[in-house]
Structure 1
Amino acid sequence: MSSKLATRLLIRGRVQSVGYRAWFAAEAERRRLTGWVRNRRDGSVEALILAPAETLHDLIEASRSGPPAARVTEVAFSEEDVQESEAGPGFDVRPTA
């Protein structure tokens, strides 16, 4: 089994009020990943994902497009030093931070 990476994503562009969080959560759940996604007050979307490297790469690539109404301009990501429990037992859509 592959080791899991904790990665924080910051997605910018037209990503709020277009169903991006719900789309992202569905994509993460389809890949059986754990973590969360939320809107940020600056208009971006933030996600914390715990995933094997190859699955994470697939999700990052998909997040560059998002749902049909989204217009993603940037996907920044960084590895995080978090415990598995911080990512949660499943995948959550969280309130705006």
Structure 2
Amino acid sequence: MTARNLTIHGRVQGVFFRDWTVETARSLGIAGWVRNLPDGSVEAHVEGEVGAVRRMIAALHDGPPRAAVERIVDRDTETEGLQGFARR
């Protein structure tokens, strides 16, 4: 198990990014959460099997069709033992 804290920058608010993240994470069996930040970026905590987390991060680089991800700040973090994936 691994956990990552991600801050996604670009056109990521108002483009269905959080809902898309929830759907994608659930399809990969990832636990965690996603939320908008006041500066226009999106923060996500993802945890799960290493391969699934890597696939999630790769998917986040593309995002939903209307998003334009410029960069992702990826930090190692502790697992929280979460069940499921939530939009905050």
**TM-score over 0.5 for the alignment?**
yes
The AA in structure 1 aligned to 2:25 is A
Secondary structure at the aligned position of 2:53 is classed as helix
**What is the deviation of 1:32?**
1.1
Structure 1 unaligned residues grouped into runs of 5+: none
Determine which of 71, 75, 85 is the counterpart of 1:91.
Answer: 85
Larger Rg: 1
Aligned residues: 88
Q: Given the two structures, how large is their TM-score scaled by the length of structure 1? A: 0.86
The AA in structure 2 aligned to 1:65 is D
Q: CA RMSD in A?
A: 0.9
Q: 1:77, 1:18 → 2: CA distance?
A: 21
Q: 2:78, 2:21 → 1: CA distance?
A: 22
**Which residue in 1 is equivalent to 2:14?**
17
Structure 2 unaligned residues grouped into runs of 5+: none
Q: Given the two structures, how large is their TM-score scaled by the length of structure 2? A: 0.95
Alignment partner of 1:45 is 2:42: yes
Deviations, residues 6-53 of structure 1 (Å, cap 9, x unaligned): 110110000000000000110000011110000000100000011111
